[in-house]
Amino acid sequence: MIEAELKARVRDVASVRAALSSRGGGHPSTYQDTYYDLTDRRLSAEGRELRLRTITTDDGRRSLLTYKEATVDVVSGSKPEYETEVADSIVVDVVLHGLGLTELVSFEKHCLNYRFTSAGRELLATLVTVPELDGTFIELETSAPESELTEALGVVRDTLHQLGITDDDLTTEQYTDAVLATRTRPGLL
């Protein structure tokens, strides 16, 4: 399955949050994301990602291991995604390091998740802040087979427009790149 997703900067957070709340309640969570790569950074160079995510909510904590293949839609940055829940993130971290992978970057995301249906598709909208980055982002996604990617992205884009997000607000910049750039800025060390 392809993660048909668009990401945008949110200019009017209160308005977007109100529009999302009218579709269902938001669920807060904190994501602790660690991205891994080979020592030669081949995964990143090829546009692939390997992430270990620990999600903390009021209901508890769970961890997911996610592998994303290279982008199949350049405009949106959508990628085939494979994800599984893991019982012990520490064990997975040891295994990944034992296989020769290294930590590319680790950071925290504060998220407010909304699940709803639009045009017959189950969507997940996430309002995101990353403490190291300025502003608030929205990620809107659905899963689709590659044969339905264009249609799925159309639903995602139309729904973003309904929420007050314009095409000018869209971005394909990855949090990993933005956080790494922030950490390597002169004067921060």
d(CA 153, CA 157): 6
User: Which of 153, 130, 129 shows the shortest CA–CA distance to 140?
Assistant: 153
Residue 187 — very low, low, confident or very high, per pLDDT cuts 50/70/90? low
Checking if the pLDDT of 11 tops 80, the result is yes
User: Which of 8, 24, 22, 4 shows the shortest CA–CA distance to 165?
Assistant: 8
Tell me how far CA of residue 119 lies from CA of 155, 157, 159, 178, in angstroms.
7, 12, 9, 33
For the stretch 113-155, pLDDT in tens is 999 999 999 999 999 999 999 999 999 999 999 999 999 999 9
Q: What are phi and psi of 120, to 5 degrees?
A: 80, 5
Outline where 29-79 has alpha helix (H).
Answer: 42-45
Entry field: residues in the chain: 189
Checking if the pLDDT of 70 tops 70, the result is yes
- Mean residue pLDDT of the chain comes to 96
Tokens of 134: 């300025």
pLDDT at 186: 73
